[in-house]
Amino acid sequence: MFTRFRTASAILLGASMLFGLAQTAKADDKKNESLFKSVYSEYKSGKITIEGDHAAVTELIIKRDIPVTYEYIAQLMRAPNAFGAGPACIVCHGSTDPKTSYRGLNLSTCEGIMTGATEEPARRIVVAGAPNKSMIRRMIRNNRMPLGVSFAYPTDTPEINAVKDWINAGGKDDAAGKKIIALFKKPGAFGTEQACVDCHMSNEEPPSFHELDLTSIKGMMKGADSIANAKLGKPATPVVIPGNAADSPLYQRLVENRMPPGIDPGEDRDHPNTQLLLHWIKQGAKCN
């Protein structure tokens, strides 16, 4: 009985969210009614199962491509805990002035979001239509490595700089590369007692997270998720881009803290609001 009640509550919650987004998009009442009836009919017939907020967002909004407007995104940027426990985004990123706003990033306006970080090196954080290419995606989803490293741990230690320099020099299987592999095998090299190879030791998962092998140059250059991606007809995800440390996931994970600052690494990476933000980007990141 309790499970049934929770499920019914979820469908009503999801329907309310759907109505709110559709109304914001200025859809007419007839369309709202027809959409609601369609969803409710599918729910009653068992075509869709909705249990909890995550499923409500996926089934009722994302799969049906309901318009997510900037008005909703603006609320997320102003709300504490919007993407996991932590302060509102605009507390730290409220203007383009790098003296008062980290990286000169203004998340308080749509124009600011689309402009991105203005402090050098200036960077766009949103690529309209391409959430997977948008920097904001990895900043609110990707935990800094090693998992659990302190937010305040420096990003320019000799070990981290050695990884950056090796990648920028071409990421070769040479003496410098062998030193990098030795660092990945050394506990405490990057800020925790863990060694990188404790979690990334082969190209198979399990036991290796993301099928990433950091025990050899060959394994590392093979990339991540090679088996999982092959099943989808896609190549492995590169973690090293020779000559370009800034865009290499291996280096990014060593220096980029997940936002909001201090968020627990156990927090859900695909919070419903994260899904909605990325769906807004996929729909073109429109400001009106």
Q: What is the pLDDT of residues 148-185, one digit of tens each?
A: 999 999 999 999 999 999 999 999 999 999 999 999 99
Express each pLDDT in 93-121 by its tens digit: 999 999 999 999 999 999 999 999 999 99
Max CA separation in the chain (angstroms): 69
pLDDT interval class at 31 (50, 70, 90): low
Per-residue pLDDT of 240-272, as tens digits, reads 999 999 999 999 999 999 999 999 999 999 999
Say whether pLDDT at 198 is over 80.
Answer: yes
Q: What is the DSSP string of 173-238?
A: SSHHHHHHHHHHTSTTTTSSSS-GGGT-BSSSTTTSGGG-B-SSHHHHHH-B-HHHHHHTT-PPBP
pLDDT confidence band for 24 (50 / 70 / 90): very low
What is the model's pTM? 0.83
pLDDT at position 48 is 79
Segment 74-94 mean pLDDT:
97
Sequential DSSP letters for 103-157: GG-B-SSHHHHHH-B-SSSPB----TT-GGG-HHHHHHHPPPSSTT--TTS-S--
